[in-house]
């Protein structure tokens, strides 16, 4: 069966062909023509027009053509229902309907600008909507940042990073200090570079603001300081070997631990431990 619509597709005119091919007509063929020729050529080609005014497959009220196809063909797939809100939001500039709508619009506008051939554009669109369907079906609960500590740290930055500056220590800095202190362990590998990439904030800004409220130390130096403080507490307990102390405080090996510990305290861990036990 042939389907026909306006040329230069972006959202609905790529999403609808994907939906039709996957759930309505696996042998569907899609034709793109100038908008004023759609109805006339639909008759000539014996094709079904869609996403143009005054045809069956089009927008109704606040819904787009993608919504109508779902309703018309009684598609009950839960992942498709999730996609519907995303497509509708992107196609009608209602990005409040789904957080993914603005991203879908940005990607669609970008590939439409880069690819001038509508059939090539359709081929790329099919890949995009296959990916969106897989995400909707299987991956909605997946996060790019998987570590619980990383997620918490990013949440703190997201919540407080844009607070107005004042003379008092900002809330985000206070809460971040508590979280780092609580969560310091062998999995603490997050860097300011990773934070800046995730938040789309320049790393130099984060570095400058971080050191302002964390003893004039960089993020890395502050983490190392906390590790040394934790190692000192562990050295007081004779049941831990030096290798175990190094492991429990997140150092890659004992020699690395020895070097950093001496830089901070002026003494090797073994000597420091002996002096502790003499007291």
DSSP sequence for 199-219: HT--HHHHHHHHHHHTTT--H
pLDDT single digits (tens) 179-208: 555 544 434 455 556 666 655 667 677 767
pLDDT of 144:
59
pLDDT of 185:
41
Mean pLDDT of the chain: 83
Q: Taking a C-beta distance cutoff of 8 angstroms, is the pair 142, 136 a contact?
A: no
pLDDT of 30:
97
Sketch out the chain's domains with CATH numbers.
2-139 (no CATH), 148-278 (1.10.10.60)
pLDDT of 263:
87
Q: What is the per-residue DSSP string for 36-104?
A: GGHHHHHHHHTEEEBSSTTSSBS-BTTB-HHHHHHHHTT---HHHHHHHHHHHHHHTT-TTS-TTHHHH
pLDDT of 222:
79
pLDDT of 217:
80
Q: Low-confidence residues of the chain, pLDDT below 50?
A: 164-165, 183-188
pLDDT of 224:
80
pLDDT of 186:
37
pLDDT of 194:
63
């Amino acid at each position: 069966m042939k389907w026909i619509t306006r040329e230069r597709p972006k959202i609905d005119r790529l999403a609808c062909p994907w939906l039709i091919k996957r759930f309505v007509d696996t042998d569907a063929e899609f034709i793109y023509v100038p908008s004023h020729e759609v109805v006339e050529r639909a008759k000539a080609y014996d094709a079904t027009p869609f996403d143009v005014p005054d045809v069956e497959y089009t927008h109704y009220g606040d819904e787009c053509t993608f919504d109508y196809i779902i309703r018309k063909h009684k598609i009950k797939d839960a992942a498709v229902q999730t996609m519907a809100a995303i497509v509708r939001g992107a196609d009608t500039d209602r990005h409040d309907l789904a957080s993914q709508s603005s991203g879908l619009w940005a990607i669609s506008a970008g590939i439409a600008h880069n690819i001038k051939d509508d059939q090539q554009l359709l081929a790329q669109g099919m890949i995009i909507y296959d990916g969106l369907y897989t995400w909707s079906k299987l991956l909605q609960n997946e996060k790019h940042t998987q570590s619980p500590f990383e997620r918490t740290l990013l949440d703190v930055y997201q919540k407080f990073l844009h607070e107005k500056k004042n003379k008092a220590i900002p809330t985000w800095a206070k809460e971040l200090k508590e979280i780092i202190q609580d969560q310091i362990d062998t999995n603490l590998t997050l860097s300011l570079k990773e934070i800046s990439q995730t938040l789309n904030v320049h790393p130099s800004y984060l570095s400058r603001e971080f050191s302002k409220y964390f003893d004039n130390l960089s993020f890395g130096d502050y983490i190392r300081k906390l590790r040394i403080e934790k190692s000192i507490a562990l050295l007081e307990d004779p049941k831990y070997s030096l290798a175990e102390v190094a492991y429990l405080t997140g150092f890659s090996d004992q020699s690395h631990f020895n070097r950093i510990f001496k830089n901070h305290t002026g003494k090797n861990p073994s000597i420091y431990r002996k002096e502790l036990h003499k007291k």
